[in-house]
Amino acid sequence: MLGTLSVNQRAAILSVVMLVVGLLIWEAAIPAQKAAEELTEYERLTGGGAPKAGVPPPSQVIAKAWEQLSNPFYDAGPNDKGIGIQIGYSIYRVLTGYFLAALVAIPLGFLIGMSQVAYKAFNPFIQVLRPISPLAWMPLALFIIQDSEASAIFVIFICSIWPMLINTAFGVSGVRKDWVNVARTHELGSLRTAFTVILPAAAPTIITGMRISIGIAWLVIVAAEMLVGGTGIGYYVWNEWNNLDLTSVIFSILMIGVVGMLLDSAFGYLQRSVAYVE
């Protein structure tokens, strides 16, 4: 029977089976809470009747998810906002920092890719700055900018700039000489050559860099928000940990994964739209 199904269908069935088995094992592995009447006198006296903190079973996480997702945008004060609002804040910070980085990295990458001198001049700075963990910038950013919101955006900016810069420079410098010669024999000016020949030729590499950057930015925003606090999905995770609400922690971890996947697939779509076969 399985033989008649396509590869995709078989893979989908296997995925569902793994999910169900995983959830069942998880559910079964959580020890049940003893009912109050089963407790001995001693246990009751030592607080055994109070609910014990533990990893919640998947059923609880699913119930939590249902509760949160059915009303994602409620706002009941600084410490109680819907998951939609928290994710919205995070996405806003990521996209702001990310597009500022793109505005700097792509033109600069063009310059570095087209000019040997610029490449050699910028290279030492890039090599030193690139391996710095973006969070290491946080204290300096907080001191100089004096605003936690803007500091978080700066951290996103600094972490997403490098892959875009390096990939743009690499893509631009690798454009085939023949295509540039086609532009030259058609008397295209340097600006038109950049837009009609070099940009489309380097686009797949540039978009790859942008895709790597958005992934890193989404990784970093969670940590940054744990530090700066206030709003955002990273803050939400940390806040629920402080509340010892592990159900919400697990739920928000899953949400981080889902949003990251959506951001990545958006760039994957963009990547396919500019791809070409030589």
Single out the segment in contact with another protein by CB under 8 A; choices: 122-130, 140-148, 184-192, 229-237. 184-192
**Does residue 11 bind another protein (CB under 8 A)?**
no
What long-range pairs does 125-132 form, CB within 8 A, spacing at least 24?
A: 126/162, 126/165, 126/166, 129/162, 130/162, 130/166, 132/158
Binding mask 219-258 for another protein (x = CB under 8 A): ----------------------------------------
Could you tell me the two tokens for 191?
């600006």
Q: Please pick, from the candidates 12, 24, 50, 182, the single residue that binds another protein as defined by CB under 8 A.
A: 182
Task: Establish if 274 lies at the interface with another protein (CB under 8 A).
Answer: yes
**198-to-20, 130, 176, 204, 276 alpha-carbon distances in Å:** 49, 25, 9, 11, 13
Given 186, 257, 268, 272, the residue binding another protein (CB under 8 A): 186
Rule CB under 8 A: choose which of 9, 46, 196, 265 binds another protein: 196
Return the residue of 124, 178, 191, 244 that touches another protein, per CB under 8 A: 178
Q: Contact region for another protein (CB under 8 A) — 8-16, 75-83, 166-174, 177-185? A: 177-185
The amino acid occupying position 191 is L
Q: How far is the CB of 178 from another protein (least distance, A)?
A: 4
Q: CB of residue 197 vs another protein: minimum separation in angstroms?
A: 7
Q: Applying CB under 8 A, which of residues 22, 107, 200, 257 lies at the interface with another protein?
A: 200
Q: What is the rounded CA–CA span in Å between residue 94 and residue 160?
A: 9
Residue 272 binds to another protein (criterion: CB under 8 A): no
- Would you tell me which residues interact with another protein (CB under 8 A)? 178-179, 181-182, 184-188, 196-197, 200-201, 203, 274, 276-278
